[in-house]
Structure 1
Amino acid sequence: MKSPSSINPLQAFLLSASLAALSTQVAAQRLIEEVIVISNKQADGISTQDLPASVVTFNEAALKQAFTVDLVDIGKMVSNAELNNVGTYASYPNFFIRGMGVNGSTRTNDPKVGVFMDGIYLGYNAGALASTFDVEAVEVLRGPQGTLLGRNVTGGAVLVKSKRPGDEFGFRIEADVGNYSATEVNASIEGPLSDRIFGKVAVIKMDRDGYFEDNNGGTVDTSIYPAGMPDTDTGDKVGMDLTIIRPMVRFELSDNFEATLIAEFLENNTGSANSQNVAHNCRPIPGVDNRDIVCGQGSQFLAQTTWGYTPPDDKYEINHDLIGYTDLETSSFVLDATWDLGHGIVTTIAGYREVEYNSSTDFDGTPFTIFHFNDNKEEQEQTSIEVRYSSTFSDRFNFVVGVNSFDQDYSIGERRNFFIALNSATYSETEHETFGIFGEANISLTDALDITVGGRWTKEEKSIDIGILGSCELDFSSCTNNTSNDKDWSDFSPKVAATYRFGDDAMAYASWTRGFASGVFNARAATLDAVGPTDPESVDSFELGIKTSFLDGRGFLSLAYFMADYEDLIMFVNNPCDDCGASLINFNAGEAEISGFEAEVQFQATDNFRLDASIGTVDPEFTSIKYFDANADGVVDDKDNQLARTWDFQKVAELSYSVAGMYDFELAGGASMLARVAYSWRDDYMTDLYNKPWLQQESFGLLDASLTYTSPSEKVRVSVYGKNLSDEEYFDYAADVGALDSARWGGAPRTYGVRVSYQY
């Protein structure tokens, strides 16, 4: 949904480009710097410009200039990527890359975009990169990355590296105030503890009121519901009360051995998710025979028809009868050790993380009890270790080999308060073990031609003990309808790539890789048959790319075309359930083909002006439906194939792009100013498997801008900034509420603030 003040893409581009006119210099001395990627595990490292893959990397300077707060802000700058929160649960990310992701909040549905924090895969994404303060680099990899990174990254991966302690004493503090009573105070201090031991502590504190206000708004038709509008509690959602403490110690035990211990303690206490009821008259979907699947029992339970309720017109006004809460606590420990043997480097990364996530949320977004999640409780614990060897003994042949293991246990207690009277609960415990052996070798056949071959063998085991929804006590103390199931899978995922260099400034590459995602259980099963697991999902991905620098290093261009064939695609759908509101079903939908194009350009046009841009297209299509009754007629046949091929994938914008212009200039006395204007765009996309039009997100664009003063000593910075300055209206997620109604979540309004920082 576009606001009246929205800015079109051409205007945004011209606004960024117009900054160049402020400069009178023609010949630029600044060059586009090379950034070493953190996903490649070769000992010598490789820059973004030389990596034969579609990747976007942000260093610390880029994160500061864009005033990024979390991964959501980073996602706006990456085409063909949606790095948003799930919506239905606060503080819980849900990422899509190249059309692949999990459009829901069922924890047993493994993410298809892997998140790696300081080399550790996160089995539970809650709290993933809640702040970019004191982060050295963030990397977004598009496409399957299973060879080096491992499990369930059939869509892509996001890697984050914390800034390590330096050799000298230093500290940094920044304070931020903004609208919605936002305050942020961050600080870090680092320095030597002895000749070979260096320490650092970073502390992050963020507070903010919610963007959405509950004022008991909207109307109720008293001819339908004589009691009128219920008088419920009021307040704002979703606020923020975030504290992160990140201590780390780096040991240089010898000239050849270094180890860093990183800990992080996070606590975030917010309100529940900001669901807003969608006003509509439920309409059948063309080609879908069963109206109950689409509208829910003939739609007689809709808030509009049962109580005559009409939601508030204001995008940022809601009306809930349950205020709710979200309490998140995480603790993590990472040991990153490297040992240089002369002929190669041995790296060990070991990690432990625990998560406690408690929440209570008004799912339906109305002042009536249609569908609530009351007092849900989740706990997760994971351990992992990876040991690898990267060779350094040859300029023409290098390789990396390694082993890793990942174990996680998690429990989920979920309560549903459904349509006033019905209260039901489910409780499950899941164990998950993964072991992998991987390797990748790069061979320089000539000075211009390199061949890369690699592969990973993976063994996974999963088991679940579950009390079926409706069979458990509301305090999760016992269940009467229990079942247990377990399954194991093994897979070999190969990779082949060729790189050809055209001199020092350009290269072309072609790659083929296979990705693997293990089958999933269903922690929200309403019947024994729905527990699962599904079969695994696999993908064969082919990519062609060109990367080149131009104008003597002042510009860099990256182009990539990809085509991926998915088999046994894992998806889910919410079907109506008389006793529980919605019955979630996991299934292997069939086969799909996803193709598209990506381009990134960085151009230092003059000494003072720089332009960054990213554009991507995605074209996904079902090619064969095996187990998905698309038209809901009770039979899976060719009619389902024909219908599904006309549908858009969920949360996939066919066109996305971003453009940013930065202009800096000197002031008297050696101070400087930096102006930045950025615009990002997403085409319209569907949020529902059945492509329900009332759940569609219309095309939207977001305009950000900032102005930063830097003192002559470069120790003091003062900035004013704004995000979504045109106050564009959009949402992060939308869904049916128990097949009875519809709601949408999220979408930040215009925000602005002032930031002051001091660095020594």
Structure 2
Amino acid sequence: MLQFNKSLKLSLLTSSMMIVSVVPCIAMAAATLEEMVVTAQKREESLQDVPVTITAFGQSQLQEAGFDSISDLTQMSPSLQFGNFGPVTFVTMRGIGNENTTAGGDPGVAMHLDGVYMGRPVASLFSAFDTERVEILRGPQGTLYGRNATGGSINLITAKPGDEFGGEVDITYGDYDWLRVRGAINLPVSDVIKLRLVAFSEDRDGYTENSFPGGNEANDADDAGVRGHISIELADQASLLLSGSYITSGGVGTKAELREPFPGSTTGQNISGPPAFAFDPLGPASGIPALNNFINPQTGQVVVNDLTPFQVSKDTKESQDNEFTMFSATFEWDFDDLSFKSITGYAQTSYESRSDDDQSELNLLELLLIEDSEQFSQELQLLSADDGPLQWIVGFYYFSEKASREALFLGGRYDVFANQFGVRAGYEFGGDVDSTSFAGFAQATYELTENLRLTGGLRYTEDEKEGVNTGFLFAGEPYADPLEDSWDEVTYRLAVDWNLNDDLMLFSSYATGYKSGGINQTAAVSRGAENAIYQPETVDAYEAGIKATLLNGRMQLNSSLYRNEYDNLQFQVFGQSGPEAFNAQGAVVQGAEAELRAVLIDSLTVDASVGITDSEFDDQIINGVQIGGNQVQRTPDLTYSLGISNDWEVGEKGSLKLRLEYAFTDEIYYTALNRNAGFAEAGGSDLADDYDNVNIRLFWFSSDDRWTVETFVTNLTDEEQEGNILRGPGFVDIAGGGGPELVTYNPPRQWGMRLGYQF
């Protein structure tokens, strides 16, 4: 594929938007856009009437885009990034997200499933089949939502029981023997009780080729799940919704690959570096090879690692075992002038991931990650329900979580250490963390005139975390260090919106945000280090935007300008002994976003988005490195997307729809250190190249809309896409540069065919 520069690409997108705005003027008989109803402010409102920056997708849009998990949203929404290393996920919005990947931290982008906050990021990996709507809110959240979030919120609203019997089933087959079966059924038991049941199963071979004899192939799928809703009408104005979900994910899963050559391999020069371990009680005389000595003892040859994406040679039987369970009860009671809602949630998440972290055919290093979490939440809301000029909501939120995490280094000399000292792993760290949060929040909107409204919100939060960090460091005695801290914060929001007419609204806001502090579970920082406990993150957020419905309802154009000023911004790097979270003194993230949807003619629709971001750390030294002026991690300067759909009627045989999707993601630094290739002082590179993504989908719908046939190709140009980069702990010196430089790639080109039936 030809590689155009970013300026030309952006010019092409801008030109496309201008064409979109002109063509409908020529069309004499064009359809209008379907109104999108959202509940971002806890009430049903038109997307164009909500003075908040929101990206929203309805069920038909999600189906057309092949949506099945949170990761798919990256190419559908500006300023949203998703990445993962196995079961550990990173969701960021406008540069802010989950930085402490252990059980001691909280995400900066809050994930909600049917109103229930999901505390562990592993929950975002699972299938989102039968989703009715997705709402993506950008900026600090708190005066309307139960859990604090400095970056934003992603709300998944699944389909609920309806009044009529019906359902759907589909089957998908594709590349790498991919087989997926999904089904949903709606059962109105009576006028009072209604049920909706959902189930799915997915199996796919891995698209990473492992040349080691008998080695397994990563990036496969072995997933299954069920979800159910029971809706009960308790009275004319009272209802209860009981929901439950269980999802499991096995197989090998997503695994990282090494992005640099081994010392002495034919793919690069021999690199002199620090010792393989910071502490080695056995010494060189033990005969156990160091990690930077990649000599196959059977052949005497230097082991070579193939740096081609999806090409590895690993002896470890890599695997994953992830589970997600959630139960919730939502009670609503409507009075004449107000409404009461209670949302009770309980969730369990767990994962066990085994990886070959020496990235070779030698038995030098296995990493076993184990995490378990159990959470309970209770949210109470009281809302106004009249037509007066004052609309308000008052709420209370309680959240508790018990989580544990273990990182065990096995194989090679790690096992020698373990056997000598009678422990299960030669090097391990982790611990238990108990988190508790209480909050009261309120927000009110007053209609000053028919077209001018003023909004104010307030929140008070108390957070407490306590835990015990445990582990073993090569020799001596296992350690157990207790850690605890508590924080409280008042945050608020002020906003004004002005309807110039029925189709044009201007809005602006100022909000403060807060995210709880956390506990570092890495061995080196748990033993008296300054950042053993890191502090809360706060933000002052300024925003102004416009929402326009143009050309008699055939076009929607929403855009905003924002500036976020962060104090104690939380970020993570991998130090000498593992992941460490820090507080930056300050950073500024600012930018512009725009989203457009338009009907050009009755059969042709276009959607487009663009996000332009400027991010910079204040002058400061972190872990001995000056990061002032660096880009905030996971924050590309530019992202944009363009989608074009066209429909054709084929008489009595039904209709066809062709959809083309293009998305561009600029280069990304994945840590605050902004390390480029060859930057040996900081230990290698954390910069990922920019990439383009092209998808194509062709649908056939039967004339009665019961049957659907879809064929598709994703990543049509088979472009290499670096989806996440991680510089591993310094003591794992497998490349002679202070820790392995690992990368997770987005999927290569894939094709598939889906057959669906509605009844």
Both proteins in one fold, TM over 0.5? yes
Equivalence for 2:647 = 664
The one-letter code of the counterpart of 1:65 is E
User: What is the aligned counterpart of 1:182 among 178, 181, 184?
Assistant: 178
- Post-superposition shift, 1:275? 2.0
Equivalence for 2:89 = 93
- Post-superposition shift, 1:259? 1.4
Question: Quick check: 1:553 aligned with 2:553?
Answer: yes
Q: Deviations over 1:526-575 (max 9, x none)?
A: 34124721121110000010111110110000110000110011222222
Q: Deviations over 1:582-622 (max 9, x none)?
A: 34332212111110000001111111111000100111111
- Post-superposition shift, 1:33? 2.1
- Post-superposition shift, 1:19? 12
Equivalence for 1:709 = 700
Question: Where does 1:115-514 land on structure 2 (aligned, <5 Å)?
Answer: 115-128=111-124, 130-216=126-212, 233-279=214-260, 302=292, 308-369=302-363, 371-374=365-368, 376-417=369-410, 420-421=413-414, 422=417, 423-470=426-473, 480-514=478-512
Equivalence for 2:46 = 47
**Residues 6 and 701 in structure 1, CA contact (< 8 A), matched pair in contact too:** no
Question: Quick check: 1:78 aligned with 2:77?
Answer: yes
**Residues 102 and 111 in structure 1, CA contact (< 8 A), matched pair in contact too:** yes
Q: Deviations over 1:47-69 (max 9, x none)?
A: 22122121101111111011112
How many angstroms apart in 1 are the aligned matches of 2:109 and 2:61?
A: 23
Residues 754, 26 of structure 1: CA spacing in aligned structure 2 closer, same or farther, 3 A cutoff?
same
User: What is the aligned counterpart of 2:584 among 562, 583, 589?
Assistant: 589
Equivalence for 2:737 = none
How many angstroms apart in 2 are the aligned matches of 1:428 and 1:69?
A: 33
How many angstroms apart in 1 are the aligned matches of 2:475 and 2:37?
A: 51
User: What is the aligned counterpart of 1:724 among 712, 715, 723?
Assistant: 715
How many angstroms apart in 1 are the aligned matches of 2:73 and 2:191?
A: 37
- Post-superposition shift, 1:175? 0.6
Residues 303, 713 of structure 1: CA spacing in aligned structure 2 closer, same or farther, 3 A cutoff?
farther
Q: Deviations over 1:231-250 (max 9, x none)?
A: x6422102111111011110
How many angstroms apart in 1 are the aligned matches of 2:276 and 2:50?
A: 48
Equivalence for 2:516 = 518
**Residues 471 and 480 in structure 1, CA contact (< 8 A), matched pair in contact too:** no
Q: Secondary structure at the match of 2:747?
A: coil
| Greater Cα shift, 659-668 or 28-37 | 28-37
Equivalence for 1:567 = 567
Q: Secondary structure at the match of 1:410?
A: strand
The one-letter code of the counterpart of 1:566 is Y
| Greater Cα shift, 597-606 or 392-401 | 392-401
The one-letter code of the counterpart of 1:257 is A
Q: Secondary structure at the match of 2:217?
A: strand
Equivalence for 1:606 = 601
Equivalence for 1:228 = none
Residues 322, 276 of structure 1: CA spacing in aligned structure 2 closer, same or farther, 3 A cutoff?
same
**Residues 579 and 729 in structure 2, CA contact (< 8 A), matched pair in contact too:** no
Residues 517, 371 of structure 1: CA spacing in aligned structure 2 closer, same or farther, 3 A cutoff?
farther
Q: Secondary structure at the match of 2:523?
A: coil
Q: Secondary structure at the match of 2:60?
A: helix
Question: Quick check: 1:649 aligned with 2:649?
Answer: no
Residues 502, 168 of structure 1: CA spacing in aligned structure 2 closer, same or farther, 3 A cutoff?
same
Residues 19, 187 of structure 1: CA spacing in aligned structure 2 closer, same or farther, 3 A cutoff?
farther
Question: Quick check: 1:688 aligned with 2:671?
Answer: yes
How many angstroms apart in 2 are the aligned matches of 1:304 and 1:557?
A: 57
- Post-superposition shift, 1:76? 1.1
Residues 261, 442 of structure 1: CA spacing in aligned structure 2 closer, same or farther, 3 A cutoff?
same
How many angstroms apart in 2 are the aligned matches of 1:472 and 1:341?
A: 66
How many angstroms apart in 1 are the aligned matches of 2:326 and 2:508?
A: 38
How many angstroms apart in 2 are the aligned matches of 1:5 and 1:314?
A: 23
**Residues 291 and 358 in structure 2, CA contact (< 8 A), matched pair in contact too:** no
Equivalence for 1:678 = 661
Residues 339, 80 of structure 1: CA spacing in aligned structure 2 closer, same or farther, 3 A cutoff?
same
- Post-superposition shift, 1:17? 11
Runs of 4+ in 1 over 6 A off after TM superposition: 2-8, 14-25, 291-297, 303-307
- Post-superposition shift, 1:70? 1.1
**Residues 303 and 309 in structure 1, CA contact (< 8 A), matched pair in contact too:** no
Q: Deviations over 1:383-427 (max 9, x none)?
A: 111110110223311000010111110112221137644522234
The one-letter code of the counterpart of 2:487 is W
Residues 293, 586 of structure 1: CA spacing in aligned structure 2 closer, same or farther, 3 A cutoff?
farther
How many angstroms apart in 1 are the aligned matches of 2:291 and 2:362?
A: 11
Q: Secondary structure at the match of 1:49?
A: helix
Q: Secondary structure at the match of 1:480?
A: strand
**Residues 574 and 728 in structure 2, CA contact (< 8 A), matched pair in contact too:** no
Q: Secondary structure at the match of 1:613?
A: strand
Question: Quick check: 1:536 aligned with 2:536?
Answer: yes
Equivalence for 1:222 = none
The one-letter code of the counterpart of 1:350 is T
Equivalence for 1:227 = none
How many angstroms apart in 1 are the aligned matches of 2:331 and 2:12?
A: 46
- Post-superposition shift, 1:272? 4.9
**Residues 344 and 389 in structure 1, CA contact (< 8 A), matched pair in contact too:** yes
Q: Secondary structure at the match of 2:48?
A: coil
Q: Which runs of 5+ in 1 are unaligned?
A: 217-231, 283-290, 474-478, 577-581, 632-639
The one-letter code of the counterpart of 1:509 is F
Q: TM-score, normalised by structure 2?
A: 0.88
Q: Secondary structure at the match of 2:712?
A: strand
**Residues 23 and 600 in structure 2, CA contact (< 8 A), matched pair in contact too:** no
The one-letter code of the counterpart of 1:484 is P
The one-letter code of the counterpart of 2:377 is S
- Post-superposition shift, 1:358? 1.5
Q: CA RMSD in A?
A: 3.0
How many angstroms apart in 2 are the aligned matches of 1:604 and 1:244?
A: 37
Equivalence for 2:610 = 615
Equivalence for 2:682 = none
Equivalence for 2:283 = none
How many angstroms apart in 2 are the aligned matches of 1:329 and 1:164?
A: 23
| Greater Cα shift, 122-131 or 206-215 | 122-131
**Residues 541 and 565 in structure 2, CA contact (< 8 A), matched pair in contact too:** yes
**Residues 397 and 442 in structure 1, CA contact (< 8 A), matched pair in contact too:** yes
| Greater Cα shift, 675-684 or 360-369 | 360-369
**Residues 101 and 112 in structure 1, CA contact (< 8 A), matched pair in contact too:** yes
| Greater Cα shift, 662-671 or 126-135 | 126-135
- Post-superposition shift, 1:344? 1.2
**Residues 231 and 240 in structure 2, CA contact (< 8 A), matched pair in contact too:** yes
**Residues 172 and 757 in structure 1, CA contact (< 8 A), matched pair in contact too:** yes
Q: Deviations over 1:412-452 (max 9, x none)?
A: 22211376445222341110111110110000001111000
| Greater Cα shift, 118-127 or 28-37 | 28-37
Q: Which runs of 5+ in 2 are unaligned?
A: 264-271, 279-289, 418-425, 678-685, 734-739
- Post-superposition shift, 1:469? 4.2
- Post-superposition shift, 1:280? 5.0
**Residues 276 and 366 in structure 1, CA contact (< 8 A), matched pair in contact too:** no
**Residues 100 and 571 in structure 2, CA contact (< 8 A), matched pair in contact too:** no
**Residues 3 and 727 in structure 1, CA contact (< 8 A), matched pair in contact too:** no
